[in-house]
Amino acid sequence: MSVGVRMKKRAAILLMMLIQIPAVYAAETANINIKISGAIHDNRYFMCMPDVGCLSILAAKKGKVFSMINPLPMNTIFITNTRTMRVYNQGLPKSCDTTVQPNKTITIYGNLVKQHHDKVVLQHLRCVIT
């Protein structure tokens, strides 16, 4: 067997292994689906959660679902306006005050409203776990 054939065979095996890795983790993830409406025309608004990070509301509006490997404790969220570099604490209703276990998806609904001095909040916030 020539060196070129062995390299192609190794590359094919490596590629097959890499394709399988996301499938293994996909079964063990907690997913965050954000369905926020409102004045979202650019990528300036983010939903931030402790131990998770900040998730683009615009990317979610375009269909992005965010996956977390560990259980996802929902105890507070923040809305960030990157144009003003301000972070706003957002209280959670009872439907969102939970922990999302692997193999579950939390869908976060709300309406992004811009208030005075560019403050942003989510109105009609609610969560559904499936």
Residues 51-96: pLDDT tens digits? 888 999 999 999 999 998 888 888 889 999 988 889 999 889 999 8
In a domain, 42, yes or no: yes
In a domain, 20, yes or no: no
Q: Which helix (H) or strand (E) holds 8?
A: helix 3-26
- CB contact at 8 A, 55 and 34: yes
In a domain, 11, yes or no: no
Domains of the chain: total = 1
In a domain, 16, yes or no: no
Q: According to the model, what pLDDT value does residue 9 have?
A: 65
DSSP of 64-118, one letter per residue? --EEESS-EEES-EEEEETTTTEEEEE---TTTSEEEPTT-EEEEEEEEEE-GGG
Query: Which neighbouring-strand residues pair with 74?
Result: 98
